[in-house]
Structure 1
Amino acid sequence: MAKTPLTARLLDTLMELQEEVLNEAIPEQTRSHFRSARREALLGIRSLIDEAIERTQERPGGQGAAAQGPGKHRDAHGTDGTIPIED
């Protein structure tokens, strides 16, 4: 069911109000810790996905990358296939 312009505006307004209430109710330092924790959780999920991708890739000779062990797979460019993270 498509959102009507009125529904979309109402949802946007509710989201803005929710953010304002949270900003007033939760101290900035606490919000900062929650943002950091959320980032770390997402990085953990990315790590799981990277490992799953490595296991699905094939090595020459017909053996899967899982036989190499975690973090040992190198692609054709000599990299491990992960995305560098800047802090």
Structure 2
Amino acid sequence: MFFVVPLLGLAYSSAAGFPIVVFGVIPLPDLVAANKELAETLKPLHGLAAWTLCGFVLLHLAAALKHQFINRDGLIQRMWFAKA
């Protein structure tokens, strides 16, 4: 998902005809030719992928908190270079 979201965004911007310039200096090449129908298809896919990524991040956080406060197995301490 970390690659899908930006690639869909880049493809959408290319299809919509929006130029992408990284840090205002480096122009990125278009992935696809300008195409309004394709842009209308890619825009909601980009949004869905972004929300899915947010859901995965929240699920990951919830799992870490479960390990910390319910399982009490020292998982977070092991990740933070502390002695468990």
| Bigger radius of gyration among the two | 1
Structure-1-length-normalised TM-score: 0.39
Task: Using CA pairs under 8 Å that are at least 6 residues apart, name the structure with larger relative contact order, 1 or 2.
Answer: 2
Name whichever structure is richer in strand by fraction. 2
